[in-house]
Structure 1
């Protein structure tokens, strides 16, 4: 039997998140797919993949794959040591950037190892896809891995310096063996500026699994958090990464004049900020720290009248939180950090947008939620945000990979 999909997910070892959810949904849409998790898989993810009928591989197969992964792990250790050693700004910028360049090389080697493993297990899969790929060394991964593939590039965390650029140029011919998939136009523009000749398409990464929240989940979640049924609740989901604007939330909550329950879930969080929020007279804080399982995430979303998403202006990567809210049926309070996203949300009754970085506008939006819960998104919400079903996504990946193989031959 031909393998429907060969799915490579370096982040399968992490708990929760839309990377793992998309991986599982695609495996469910194409039973008997092969999933390669080079850094192992979280128990919850592994169980979901087995239930979906997928075959899970967590160790490299063959000498080349083992050697590449071993080199990647050594590079990662070196990168972490360098980040600790050169953390201070007293070091020259080139030295401070060096560990991040080593990380790019380590990620490339991991991808190549996974591709070698894929080639050994299923050389004729209908589609080979790296679901979370590096923003650099695209051609090198293909050449070292020996396998054409599609690669979802979610963001550009760091840019290439001279040595990594040289490695990329030496492997430029390998770029003909890949198609980059950018979840948003903004990410596409950013990566294309560095790799203008890299074949690419734009396609949302998150998929709609059709599992909207039920009334029973909503009622049970309020009981679980000991929140009255008639109370106003907003949830803040996910780690507090630098691109998220926590400061504007901090300032807006201090301006609240009406009671609001805030459920915070994720990691990392800032305990000092949480302590300030606990002391505010109008804020009733509930926290679920640490990476959480899918069932707990659903519980957090189910208790909320709206999900809060705040990012710094210009952040154009796909928001898994926005996509989660749309597919689950949770209204949004979201900053206008991304003009394309703001345009999609314009006029929708379930999305309250406010100017990014404006605490007064955010406080007013939260007051609106406290006075009257917004309308819930309908079943068409995922489509309005460019999301596809898992089956449609699997079909797209298969068509795109077939076109790549045809062009290559």
Structure 2
């Protein structure tokens, strides 16, 4: 179990995020792996993959793959028009959902094109894995792709309406050719309700080889880069402001601060009116970086912070890349109790301060405590506590799981 893998990442063109980190880590663990990025790939990720001796493909191989990819692009264009045309609440719910259904179809066709490309370019590698897979049409992707594969399903954004369910039933015979991997038990439970016959397993997505902890010298460099004095408290708020993040609660809590606090914000998209309000607050020192950031700048921001801030809405239970980053880099954590499983794992850990989700007063108290009593850095065992594995172990797991999909050798 040391051979190359096929790693398919439909979002490799998006800078930032922990998708690229896992992609590169797995490629390093299995030199010679084939990386398929159907929508392109960032320059930083390409450079890292070349150093890992991975092969990178960004175009479909073969006629079938090219046709499937063309269909995906057409469906994506139709979905984009539909989102603009039917976003208004005056339309019936079924009509408003239609663009999202077309998006599911487009994602399925992209996956199928990548799987067909894998068949042409790497028919005999140890495992075929879609690192960020769609939450729907699993059997259709396997049927059109003609390739057994594993698929990491990170969240359930939308579900199949009747037309896609009918298509899914027609392709159900291909479901045994794929295994869904869910990063958290909650996501697995939700997805299994929709696909009870699909083989699945819970497996943490994030990877930690124990080599990325931020050093004292990096911390000093980070503080210098953002002109933050060593004795003044600083928190970082990383990533785009997506609907599952509870920025409204943070907005109110920052207004309750009684002592100055440096807040490092980096990501995309951000909300400008909210940022403007924070600039006016007397005890907030805002350091803003717009847009997705690369790995090196990400380390710089984490290095400058006394803790990372994770604020989510109650009930959000998908894997948090920010929580995993905190453990990988050795940065303390200020986190809402939105996810009962995560809260149980972090309870009584000295490097994590937990506050009540959707409660501005609880968050304000946690912020105040952080300004007066900094948290200690997490130890090297923090990653394993959160379920992370080294890249070599993750690659071995993927190889073993994939072997379950292959025909058994006949006994003599």
Superposed pair shares fold, TM > 0.5 = yes
Matched position secondary structure for 1:24: helix
Aligned partners of 1:24, 1:223: CA distance in 2, in Å?
Answer: 29
Aligned partners of 1:177, 1:316: CA distance in 2, in Å?
Answer: 27
Partner of 1:170: 170
Q: Is contact 1:176-1:408 (8 Å) kept?
A: no
Aligned partners of 2:232, 2:164: CA distance in 1, in Å?
Answer: 53
Partner of 2:114: 114
Matched position secondary structure for 2:406: helix
Q: Is contact 1:3-1:34 (8 Å) kept?
A: no
Partner of 2:59: 59
Partner of 1:302: 303
Partner of 2:31: 31
Partner of 1:200: 200
Partner of 2:387: 386
Report Cα offsets for 1:44-69 as digits up to 9, x if no partner: 11111111110000100000000000
Report Cα offsets for 1:163-211 as digits up to 9, x if no partner: 1101100000111000000000000000000000100000000000321
Over 3 Å off, 4+ runs = 406-409
Partner of 1:371: 372
Partner of 1:160: 160
Partner of 1:15: 15
Q: Is contact 1:252-1:362 (8 Å) kept?
A: yes
Partner of 1:139: 139
Q: Is contact 1:177-1:408 (8 Å) kept?
A: no
| Cα drift, residue 406 of structure 1 | 4.3
| Cα drift, residue 4 of structure 1 | 1.5
Task: Say if 2:216 is the partner of 1:215.
Answer: yes
Partner of 1:239: 240
Aligned partners of 1:236, 1:169: CA distance in 2, in Å?
Answer: 43
| Cα drift, residue 408 of structure 1 | 10
Aligned partners of 2:284, 2:351: CA distance in 1, in Å?
Answer: 23
Report Cα offsets for 1:116-154 as digits up to 9, x if no partner: 000001111100000000000000000100000000000
| Cα drift, residue 265 of structure 1 | 0.4
Structure 2 length-normalised TM: 0.98
Partner of 1:337: 338
Q: Where in structure 1 are there 5+ consecutive unaligned residues?
A: none
| Cα drift, residue 407 of structure 1 | 6.0
Report Cα offsets for 1:339-388 as digits up to 9, x if no partner: 00001001100010011001111111111110011010001100010111
Partner of 1:225: 226
CA RMSD of aligned residues (A): 1.1
Aligned pairs, number: 408
Aligned partners of 1:3, 1:390: CA distance in 2, in Å?
Answer: 14
Cα distance change of structure 1 residues 281 and 100 upon mapping to structure 2, 3 Å threshold = same
Partner of 1:43: 43
Matched position secondary structure for 1:207: coil
| Cα drift, residue 3 of structure 1 | 5.3
